[in-house]
A = this chain, B = another copy of it.
Amino acid sequence: MTDGRSRRREDTRQRLFVAAVELIAEQGFSATTVDDIAARAGVAKGTVYYNFESKTVLFEELLRHGIGLLTAEFRAAVAGLPPRAALAALVRAELEYIRRYRAFAQLLLSEMWRTNREWQQTLRLLRGEAIEVIAETVRAGVDSGDLPAELDVPTASSALFGVGLVVAVDWLVFQPDRPIEDVQEALLGIVRRVAQT
C-alpha cells in the first residue's frame, strides 16, 4: 500500500496539485498551460498525463481535494458547539483555512461563480457540501431561537461563506501587509452584530 512506488507517485501528484493551484489562482484555468504546471512542479509534461486523465480532470480532483479539506474543517469546528459559538467557530475555521491555503482560496473565488465550464457541475456539488455544514448550524440556531428568526437559512449560509472568501482574499490581494487577524476580528464583529436577536 505505502510502498516506495505509490509514495513516490503520491508525492508527484501533490507537487502537481501545488503547482496547478498557484498558477490557476494567478492566471485562471484557461490561461494556465499544462507545460507551465509541469515546469513548476519540476516534472515532464508526460508525467501530468500519467497521473491525470486530462487538464480538466486534474482541476476537478484539485477542487475535490481542496473543498473536501475545507468541509472537514468546518465539520470539526462546529462539533458539539451551541449555535452562536459554532457560527464564530465557522468564521475562524474559514479564515484559518484561507490563510493556510491562500492560493486555493483565490482560485475558488475566481472560478466559483462561472457558468458554462466543464467542471461547473463538480464545483456546484462541492460548494453545496461545504455550505450544508453552515446551513445546518444556522438552521439549528434559528430553530432554537439563538439566532434571529427572520434569517433566511440558505441565503445567510451562502452569504456567510462568500463574505469570508471575498473579504479575506481582497485583503490578501489588495492589502497584503496587514495581518489576517485583523480581518478575522472585523468579520467576527460583523457576524456577531448580525447574529444578535
Contacts and interface: CB of A to CB of B under 8 A. Distances in A.
Interface of A: 25-31, 106, 109-111, 113-117, 124, 127, 150, 152, 154-156, 158-159, 162-163, 165-167, 169-171, 173-175, 182-183, 186, 189-190, 193-194, 196
Contact of A113 (B109, B155, B162, B186): B109
Contact of A167 (B162, B173, B174): B162
Contacts of A158: 167, 170-171, 174-175
A172 to B, nearest CB: 8
A16 B48 CA distance: 38
Nearest to A175: B154
Nearest to A196: B193
A113 B114 contact: no
Contacts of A127: 174
Nearest to A152: B186
Contacts of A162: 163, 166-167, 170
A115 B28 CA distance: 9
Contacts of A186: 152, 155-156, 159
A110 B124 CA distance: 15
B182 A155 contact: yes
Given A154-B175, A166-B165, A166-B166, A116 B183 contact: no
B152 A182 contact: yes
